[in-house]
Amino acid sequence: MKIICIGRNYAAHAAELNRTTALDAEGMSAVIDPVIDACGAETVDSPEGVEVMRRTADDGTVFTTVINTAGRPVRWPHALGGEDLDLAPFETRIM
């Protein structure tokens, strides 16, 4: 499977989770954003704490996984260009 979608806010979230790193959110973005751009990954603007991954199987089936990593409910209006999405704390959805 190939990842073709990654949320840009992942860098900020990773910096928040890993307080032992010398990089802050801006530093992580400086490292991660060029990698995302260089590999041609599609990006999604998702709410803070929400990660999105899209994978395509060998047979062409597309799986989109949305994970709320926040410890609070998150409302995402028009999620991925569709209907509003309400996610409970730490909820995962495969769409």
Helix, strand, or coil (residue 77): coil
pLDDT at 7: 55
When pLDDT is averaged across residues 39-47 and rounded to a whole number, the result is 84
Q: What is the pLDDT of residue 6?
A: 52
Compute the average pLDDT of residues 86-94: 95
> 90 to each of 11, 26, 35, 59, 67, how far by Cα in Å?
18, 25, 27, 30, 7
Q: What is the mean pLDDT of residues 70-79?
A: 93
Chain position carrying tokens 């999604």: 44
- State mean pLDDT over 28-34: 85
Domain chopping of the chain, boundaries: 2-94
How far, CA to CA in Å, does 39 sit from each of 14, 22, 27, 80? 20, 25, 19, 21
Q: Is the pTM of this model over 0.85?
A: no
pLDDT recorded at residue 82:
87
**Comparison of pLDDT for 57 and 10, the residue scoring more:** 57
